Amino acid sequence: MKHLKQIRILPIVLLCISAGFIALQFFNAPIEQRPVTGPMKNVPKEVTQILERSCYGCHSNAQNLTFLDKLAPISWIVNKDIRRAREVMNFSEWDKLSEVEQKGKFYAIFNMVRAEKMPLPSYAMTHPGAKLSRNEIEIIKQFALSLSKKDSFIPAHMSPVEAGPKVETLTTAIQAGVPVSPNGISYNADFKNWKVIGMSTLIDNSIRVIYGNDIAVKAIQEENFHPWPDGSAIAKVVFKQAKKPNGEIVPGDFVNMQYMVKDGKEYTKTEGWGFAKFNGQELKPTGKTALFAQQSCISCHRQLAESTGYLFNVPPKVNSRKLIEQYLKTASK
Amino acid sequence: MKKVLYILLFGSLIFGSCAKNPEKETGKIRFMFDPGSLKFISSSFNPNLQTMSALYGNQKGISALEAKKGIIGVDLKLVTYKMQDDPNYFGSKVNGELLSVETVKSDQMGNLKYGIEFGKVSSNESSKQRISSILEYQPLKLPQ
């Protein structure tokens, strides 16, 4: 009797599931179709072939979606991934980026594939052909490196003599008010009084100094950055490289100030971090809309700096405790 | 249908698994230099020696950099680290292990004295040359 009941229930359950599945399709909006307006130029074919196979599925306007990709609820995930991917980097609208940005993107691409963060593991699982071999990752690396080969440590307009101690003092001042990023974050000149938490250089010929406010410094000291406490703020100040006669590289012209401030309730779409970037002597804010952080900042931070609470430039664990204790003992004398 | 189940099954495995990627435990510690009352003046890196340095100083120290000579009350500290690859980002280099802390201070006559507070200095320069090299630093030029 019990067995007979089960047999009757099974078709009803299957029918309900099927009806639910069909109902879902009424809430299924296709991804927006956009034209290819500015494809990549001057990129070797072997590089574009890899990108087309592994990345274009999301990072372009030329998707080749399967029937399953278009079915809800899978389509919801697929469409969300494509929208986010296009925001971050779109190979079909490559001409919207400056040459410097394109170079930076190739370093980001290499870092993503090297760390096996891209293609997304879920995408690679369902699209096995998208996976990159070691050789293909090496091809991307070599191409990224080739983009910087022609550069020297010194910007073309700055000779070693000019770059020495007699660099002219920059006199341009901010004329009106405090610059404000489209997401409402203001330029915070107070960073000059914060503690320097690190220094870095990038192959884009910059030299950087990273400052942290008291809350951020305390969080680093206490390894308390999962998540970072609200109010933590980091300022990364970027300069062009200038070469001294003795071969040392020092900060030259100011390029920009990149600012991150933590507010878990305010910046929910960007892992609790608010981003701002102020460029040149005028401190012109980056971004046309408040969405710029979602479109260009958070993707690298999210994928590559998760272990340090989505913040790059936390001082690495490279000093032996004994060495530091020895130093502190000497310093306190 | 089989493919859908396959996707859902592996999708749940991926999203349900541990997403954290903790830093490699090396048994070593992070270090941020505490300059006390001194201010950060500028930084540098040396591609030949593969080192990175940060210069700190008091107001008299900054004045000495501008004058290129000793004055009474100078207190400068040059902190040098090994330069290493950024573990998070290929193409970037960051300051790594602490190598040395050099000092330039003036006596009551305003004569500059060089000292090594900690570690070993990679450069072969003499004390006098080190003072000259440190006096070559210029404060960062930030928008006003």
Chain B nearest-CA distance from A97, in A, is 20
Tell me, yes or no, whether A288 lies in a domain.
yes
A83 and A141 inside one domain: yes
Q: Is the pTM of this model over 0.90?
A: no
Tell me, yes or no, whether A161 lies in a domain.
no
Per-residue model confidence as pLDDT tens digits over A105-144:
888 898 899 888 899 888 888 888 888 988 989 888 888 8
Tell me, yes or no, whether A333 lies in a domain.
no
Structure tokens, B32: 């941020």
Q: What is the mean pLDDT of residues A29-56?
A: 86
Per-residue model confidence as pLDDT tens digits over A181-191:
999 999 999 99
Structure tokens, A136: 């293909």
Tell me, yes or no, whether A57 lies in a domain.
yes
Q: What is the mean pLDDT of residues A158-180?
A: 45
A110 and A202 inside one domain: no
Identify the pLDDT of residue B18: 42
* CB contacts, 8 Å: A153 with chain B: 47
Structure tokens, A103: 């170079």
Tell me, yes or no, whether A316 lies in a domain.
no
Say if the Cβ atoms of A122 and B138 lie within 8 Å.
no
Tell me, yes or no, whether A125 lies in a domain.
yes
B51: nearest CA in chain A? A248
Q: Is the pLDDT of residue A256 over 90?
A: yes
Per-residue model confidence as pLDDT tens digits over B86-116:
988 888 999 999 999 999 999 999 999 999 9
Tell me, yes or no, whether A206 lies in a domain.
yes
Q: Which of A149, A180, A198 is the last residue of a domain?
A: A149
A291 and A208 inside one domain: yes
A55 and A122 inside one domain: yes
Q: What's the domain count of chain A? A: 2
Structure tokens, B84: 């290493």
A301 and A197 inside one domain: yes
Tell me, yes or no, whether A222 lies in a domain.
yes
Could you list the beta-strand ranges (E) of chain A. 195-202, 206-212, 233-243, 249-262, 273-279, 284-285
Respond yes or no on whether ipTM tops 0.85: no
A215 and A295 inside one domain: yes
Alpha-carbon gap, residue B69 to B60, rounded angstroms? 11
Q: Is the pLDDT of residue B20 over 60?
A: no
Q: Is the pLDDT of residue A15 over 70?
A: yes
Q: What is the mean pLDDT of residues B19-27?
A: 52
Alpha-carbon gap, residue A271 to A161, rounded angstroms? 45
A304 and A194 inside one domain: yes
Mutate to test the interface with A, among B10, B20, B38, B44 (most CBs of A within 10 A): B44
Does A165 reach chain B within 8 Å, measured CB to CB? yes
Contact B96, B81 (CB under 8 A): yes
Contact B80, A227 (CB under 8 A): no
Q: Is the pLDDT of residue A207 over 90?
A: yes
Side-chain-facing half-sphere of A258: CA atoms under 13 Å = 16
B119 sits in which H/E element: strand B112-119
Alpha-carbon gap, residue A150 to A329, rounded angstroms? 46
A145 and A209 inside one domain: no
A53 and A142 inside one domain: yes
- With H, G, I as helix, E, B as strand and everything else as coil, classify residue B40: strand
**pLDDT category of residue B50 using cuts at 50, 70 and 90:** very high
A125 and A49 inside one domain: yes
Domain enclosing residue A264, as ranges: 189-239+254-308
Say if the Cβ atoms of A200 and B86 lie within 8 Å.
yes
